[in-house]
Structure 1
Amino acid sequence: MPQIITVTPSPAIDASTSVGKITAFSKLRCAPLQRHPGGGGINVARVIHRLGGEVRAVYPSGGATGELLRELLDREAINGITVAVAAETREDFTVFEESTKQQFRFMMPGSPLTDPEWTQLIQAALVGPPSYIIASGSVPPGAPEDFFGRIVQAGAAIGARVVVDTSRQPLKAALQNGLFLIKPSLSEFWNLTGLNCDDDATLIDAARDLIDRGLVEMVALSMGPNGALLITRDRALRAEGLAVEAATVSGAGDSFLAAMLWSLQRDPELATALRFGIAAGTAALVNPGTELARPQDIASFLPQVRIRELAEVPRIAASQAP
C-alpha cells in the first residue's frame, strides 16, 4: 500500500493560458488552453509521484469536470480513490499576461459536499494504513470547519503522521488535535499567531510556542522569494530563496511540501528535506500554468540551495493561541 495518502476536499480542474495583453471589452487571442488536475493534495500527489514516491490521492469527483479530473490523473498514472459526489467539480482559470509578466488567477467557489460525502473522504484516507496523510487545500461548503481536525484525529488513531496545509479557522481547528507538520505561508502564519513581522528569531519563537504546547511537531514556514524556515523543538533551519524568472506563481507551495515530505519519508535528515523543498518550489515557478515541479528542474536547482542551521534563539514573546 502507498505510504503517503493525500486528501483534497476541494479539488479543481486548473485551466491556464496566456495572452499578449489583457484589454477590457476586446477579443483576446489566447495561447492553447492547458488543463491539469488541481487542488492542494492532488498537486502534492502529482509531485511525489514524479519523484518516484508511492502515493494515493483521495478526492471527491462530480459531474463532467469530475470525470475529466479522474482522466487527467489517470494520464499521469496517479493512484487515486474517488468519492462520487452530487455537485460538479469546479474549474479554475489562470491567465498569464505576456507583456507585463503578470498572472491573473480566477478561483471558483468550492463544490459543496454533503455529510455522507465528506465522511467518506475521511474514511478513504485511512485505507492501508498509510505512514503519512497529507490533507491540503480549503474546506468546501457543507463540510465542517474542523474537517481537517477530524482527519488528524482519525489519522492519529491508526498511527499515521498527519500533515495539514490550510489556513485560518480550519488550520486552527486542526491544531487542536496535534499534528506532525504544518506548512503555512508567512501571511497564514501571521493570521495564526497574531504576528506581523518577518524577523527569523520572532518567527522561530512563535513556532516553538506551538510545538511546546503539543499542537504540532514541526513547522515549515514558506516565505516566497525569501525562502523558508523549518522549525522543530530542537532545530531551526533557514533556506534562502533562489532568484529565477517566474512563469507562474501557482503550485510552488504544493511542490515545496511534496518534495519535503517525499524526502522525509526516505531520510529523516531535516536539512535534506528542506533543500528538496526549496528546489521543488523554485522548479514550480519556472513552468507555466499549473505544470508544477519536474524532477529534472528540481535536480538542477538542488546544488544551488544553501541551508543554515540557526543558533538557539531566546524566547521573545509568546504567540497568541490559535
Structure 2
Amino acid sequence: MTQTHPILTLTLNPALDMATSVATMEPGHKLRCSEPLLDPGGGGLNVSRAVKALGGDSLALVALGGLTGDRLAGLIRAEGVTFLSILGPGETRQSLTVTEDATGKQFRFMLPGPLWTETERARVFTLLRATSRPGGLSVISGSQPPGVPADFPAQLAASMLGSRVVLDTSGAALVQAMKSPIPGLAVLRMDTEEAEGLAGRKLTTQKDTADFAQSLVHRGVAEQVIMARGAEGNILALADRRVFAKAAKVKVKSTVGAGDSFVAAFVLAMARDETPEQALAWGCAAASAAVTTDATQLCRLEDVKALLPQCEVSAI
C-alpha cells in the first residue's frame, strides 16, 4: 500500500550503538570481546531505520556532535535513511551491548549524552516548525537528553502544529505527559513496567492493562494508548474499544530494538491509512521479527510479513 502521509522522527540523544560478546562476564578480568557490530541508535532514529527496512519513507531529525557524531552520520547514510543533522551541544554518546555466550544474557551500558541548554532547545523548535507537516506523523521516541525539562515533549509537540504526534518515552517525561496531557496527542506507547509504575499496581491480566490504557484515553492523555505486554503481545485502547494483538512465537536472540520496530510498523501503517487494528498487528509482527535478530539490528520486511498471520487481533 502506498504511503499517503509523511513521517518525521526526532532524536536528540542518539547513540553510536556497539554490540559485542564475551565468553563469560567475570569481574576483575580482561574480557576478550568479539568483533563489534556498529549501528546508529536512539529511539527516533531506530524508528526511521525500521520504516526504511519496511519499505516506507521518513525524515529523521538527528542531533549530532563531535567525532562520534560524524561516524554516526556515516552509518545513517550507509543505511539510506533520509536525515537532517541538528548541531548537538557536545559529543554524541555511545552505548554498548555485551552478550555473554555462556548464558545468552545481555548487558546494556547506556551513556547519558551531552547537556542541552535553553538556546539549543530553541533551535530544535525552529527546525520542527519548518519540517513538520499538517496531517503528517511525528514520532518523539527514546530517552530525553540531559538538561531538558519534564514537559519537553509537550514543547516539541507544540512546535509541530497539525501533525499527529506519537510519543514513546519513559521516566519523568512520561509521568509529566500523564499529569499534564499533551493537547491532541495521537498515540502514547509504553511497556508493562512503565504502565504499572504509573498505575501504582500490578496489571496482571489483559483486562487490567486494557482498563488502565482506556482510562488514559478517557482522561484525554492520548487518542490511542498502546501498552506492550512483553512476549504476550500488545494492547491498544481507543475511546470506544480495546484490542489485543498476540505476539508471534519466535526464538528470541535480542530484545534490543523491538519497541522501536513496533513503533515504526505501527506508524507506517497509520501513514498508509490502515485501521488501528491493522496497525497494531503490523507493529506486533515487527516487534516479533526484531527479537529474532542480533544485538542492535531491527526488523526485516520478509520476517515481518511471514509473522503477520500469527499476530491475530481480538477484542478485549
TM-score (norm. length: structure 2) = 0.92
What is the identity, as a one-letter code, of the residue corresponding to 1:233?
Answer: A
Q: Residues 241-265 of structure 1: CA distance to partner in whole angstroms, max 9, x if unpaired?
A: 2232221121101101110111111
Residues 164 and 186, structure 2, Cα contact 8 Å, conserved in 1: yes
Residues 247 and 310, structure 2, Cα contact 8 Å, conserved in 1: no
1:257 pairs with 2:260: no
For 1:299, which of 264, 280, 305 is the aligned residue? Answer: 305
In the alignment, what sits opposite 1:9? 12
Residues 5 and 272, structure 2, Cα contact 8 Å, conserved in 1: no
In the alignment, what sits opposite 1:84? 87
Q: Residues 161-195 of structure 1: CA distance to partner in whole angstroms, max 9, x if unpaired?
A: 01111113212333522311011001111222323
The number of residue pairs the alignment matches comes to: 308
What is the identity, as a one-letter code, of the residue corresponding to 1:83?
Answer: I
For 1:100, which of 77, 99, 103 is the aligned residue? Answer: 103
In the alignment, what sits opposite 2:138? 133
In the alignment, what sits opposite 1:52? 55
Structure 2: runs of 5 or more not aligned: none
Q: After the TM superposition, which residues 140-151 of structure 1 pair with which residues of structure 2 at under 5 Å, given as runs?
A: 140-151=145-156
1:201 pairs with 2:207: yes
- Give the superposition deviation at 1:105: 0.5
Residues 20 and 98, structure 1, Cα contact 8 Å, conserved in 2: yes
- State the secondary structure of the residue aligned to 1:229: strand
- Give the superposition deviation at 1:235: 1.8
In the alignment, what sits opposite 1:313? none
- State the secondary structure of the residue aligned to 1:296: helix
- State the secondary structure of the residue aligned to 1:254: helix
Residues 116 and 145, structure 2, Cα contact 8 Å, conserved in 1: yes
1:167 pairs with 2:173: no
Residues 2 and 128, structure 1, Cα contact 8 Å, conserved in 2: no
| Distance in 2 separating the partners of 1:285 and 1:301 | 12
In the alignment, what sits opposite 1:233? 239
Residues 19 and 37, structure 2, Cα contact 8 Å, conserved in 1: yes
| Distance in 2 separating the partners of 1:286 and 1:126 | 38
- State the secondary structure of the residue aligned to 1:13: strand
- Give the superposition deviation at 1:2: 7.4
- State the secondary structure of the residue aligned to 1:183: strand
TM-score (norm. length: structure 1) = 0.91
- Give the superposition deviation at 1:198: 2.4
- Give the superposition deviation at 1:282: 1.1
Over the residues paired in the alignment, what is the CA RMSD in angstroms? 1.7
